[in-house]
Amino acid sequence: MDESRSTTTHGLSYQIAEFTVSLNLNQLPEAVLQNAKLAILDCLGVSVLASGEEVGRVLLRFARNNLGPGPCTVWGSDITLNPRDTALVNGTLAHGLDFDDRGHASTYTLASALAAAQGSGASGARTLEAFITGREVIQTLFAVFARRSSGIGPGARGWHANGILGPIGAACAASKILGLDVSQTLTAIGLATGSCGALTRDGGTMAKPFRSGHAAATGLTCAYLAKEGFTSDDSAIEGRYGLLEAVGPLPEDILEALGKGLGTEYNLSLDVKLKRFASCTATHDGVEAMLRMVQKKPLTASEIEFIECDLHPYPLLRMQPERGFEGRFSMAYCIAMALLDGRLEPENFADERARDPQVRALLQCVRHVPGSDSLVVNLKDGTKIIEPVQAPADLKGREEVLNKFNNCVNKILSEDQQLAVPHLVDHLEQSPSVEPLMEALHLQPVG
């Protein structure tokens, strides 16, 4: 501890530790509980879907060949591992298709909380508390990355929030499960804060979801170490040479926003931003504009001269994707799929679609127009079709989230499991353990 800083003991790190220990399910607004359950259901659904995709197949093969056995369930599989390895795999699955909620805070938080809960026999109520705790911690820190598109903060320089903030949120969730006191939780936060790293360049590769898995496993590890008496700096976030200085410089208004309202205002009192498309958030406004356009006037690739749109910095990383998963980070690819198929579903990101000659040709017709607020399709006959680009729509209400969940899991989970998971999530705080929920996500071995 830097004794020269009189506010160190009660700085941001301490505030987060105190919040983590004190959060009580019974004191939370009902909207927080209901939105947390929607976020959990959505996250579990996209994780199960990912288990059957290429990223999941590689990950599960890795788990079988390299990771340690234990009692904890890898969602959508017949594999059980030790808690830390389970957090790694589930956190990666959760972000495997970029279909999880915007901001991705549910991925590592849920993976860490459920692995710790299953490993320790924690109740469903404590698990729900832990998930909410981790998510709220991330949201109070997210101002560090919130102005990336304006060129401000570490996000504008290539750092990605999943790996920078994720270990902290995961550590707080795990600390809540393990019942750590403020001092121990502060140690877990200090350990997690220095265990960070993730690059925006990872987008469109399997490295990006791995950062969420790594955050989940790291946060859980930090909580376990703190429980055993390990030590760390108690102002690792805000202290001299700490995280904020390392990822800075940051404007004063961002620094002042960190921790503001923590414990009195809840991000989960607002609707969770749940995705309709399994692609980078920054592609969604262009996709929705193209879907509106083709609903008004069906188009064919042979009619197109060129397409103009602001493709945004992040989706510009993969202008000409060679693989389907790269297409998730290519605005050009996503709007091409919307034009050709009239939809954008997870199956649109298969390698065979990315390599289709018609798709390849259409990608060559897409042009980046920085700052444009419209999608413009220029036809070979001289016609120009214009559709305003608007903020993308999120899923609204339990019915839409449940429909997405069912579409994600219906080819992987049994009918009984498909019915059980939403019911168990809805009543999570009433369950003495998470075992029934984990059983509903576990597949029976074949043969």
Terminal-residue alpha carbon distance, the chain: 57
Q: Is residue 73 located within the same domain as residue 179?
A: yes
Q: Is residue 333 located within the same domain as residue 230?
A: no
Residue 366 covered by a domain: yes
Q: What is the pLDDT of residue 148?
A: 84
Residue 268 covered by a domain: yes
Domain count, the chain: 2
Q: Is residue 262 located within the same domain as residue 404?
A: yes
Whether 19 and 168 have beta carbons less than 8 Å apart is answered as no
Residue 393 covered by a domain: no
Q: Cα separation of 142 and 212, whole Å?
A: 15
Q: Is residue 236 located within the same domain as residue 263?
A: yes
Residue 61 covered by a domain: yes
- Closest by Cα among 149, 151, 396, 101 to 275: 101
Q: Which is it for strands 69-73 and 374-379: parallel, antiparallel or unpaired?
A: unpaired
Q: What is the pLDDT of residue 164?
A: 97
Q: What is the pLDDT of residue 428?
A: 98
Q: Is residue 57 located within the same domain as residue 84?
A: yes
- Closest by Cα among 46, 44, 74 to 59: 74
Q: Two tokens at 358?
A: 């018609």
Q: Is residue 235 located within the same domain as residue 326?
A: no
Q: Two tokens at 288?
A: 């929705």
Q: Per-residue confidence of the chain (447 residues) as pLDDT tens digits?
A: 343 333 333 699 999 999 999 999 999 999 999 999 999 999 999 999 999 999 999 999 999 999 999 999 999 999 999 999 999 999 999 999 999 999 999 999 999 999 999 999 999 999 999 999 999 999 999 999 998 878 899 998 999 999 999 999 999 999 999 999 999 999 999 999 999 989 989 999 999 999 999 999 999 999 999 999 999 999 999 999 999 999 999 999 999 999 999 999 999 999 999 999 999 999 999 999 999 999 999 999 999 999 999 988 766 778 889 999 999 999 999 999 999 999 999 999 999 999 999 999 999 999 999 999 999 999 999 999 999 999 999 999 999 999 999 999 999 999 999 999 999 999 999 999 999 999 999 998 865
Q: Is residue 92 located within the same domain as residue 237?
A: yes
Q: Is residue 109 located within the same domain as residue 234?
A: yes
Q: Two tokens at 121?
A: 């026999």
Q: What is the pLDDT of residue 317?
A: 74
Q: Cα separation of 95 and 104, whole Å?
A: 7
Q: Is residue 327 located within the same domain as residue 412?
A: no
Residue 331 covered by a domain: yes
Order of all β-strands in the sheet with 384-388: 366-368, 304-309, 374-379, 384-388
Q: Is residue 320 located within the same domain as residue 404?
A: no
Whether 324 and 354 have beta carbons less than 8 Å apart is answered as yes
Whether 337 and 313 have beta carbons less than 8 Å apart is answered as no
Neighbours of 352 (CB within 10 A): 9
- Closest by Cα among 356, 288, 285 to 323: 356
Residue 2 covered by a domain: no
Q: Is residue 57 located within the same domain as residue 161?
A: yes
CATH label of the domain that carries residue 95:
1.10.4100.10
Whether 47 and 109 have beta carbons less than 8 Å apart is answered as no
- Closest by Cα among 258, 283, 178 to 223: 178
What is residue 203's DSSP assignment? T
Q: Cα separation of 213 and 429, whole Å?
A: 25
Residue 133 covered by a domain: yes
- Closest by Cα among 346, 443, 288, 378 to 55: 346
Whether 211 and 253 have beta carbons less than 8 Å apart is answered as no
CATH label of the domain that carries residue 360:
3.30.1330.120
- Closest by Cα among 56, 95, 96, 91 to 76: 56
Neighbours of 386 (CB within 10 A): 12
Cβ burial of 371 (10 Å; 0-12, 13-18, 19+) is exposed
- For 145, the domain range is 8-275+399-440
Q: What is the pLDDT of residue 369?
A: 95
Cβ burial of 205 (10 Å; 0-12, 13-18, 19+) is middle
Q: Is residue 423 located within the same domain as residue 328?
A: no
CA–centroid distance for 112 within its chain:
13
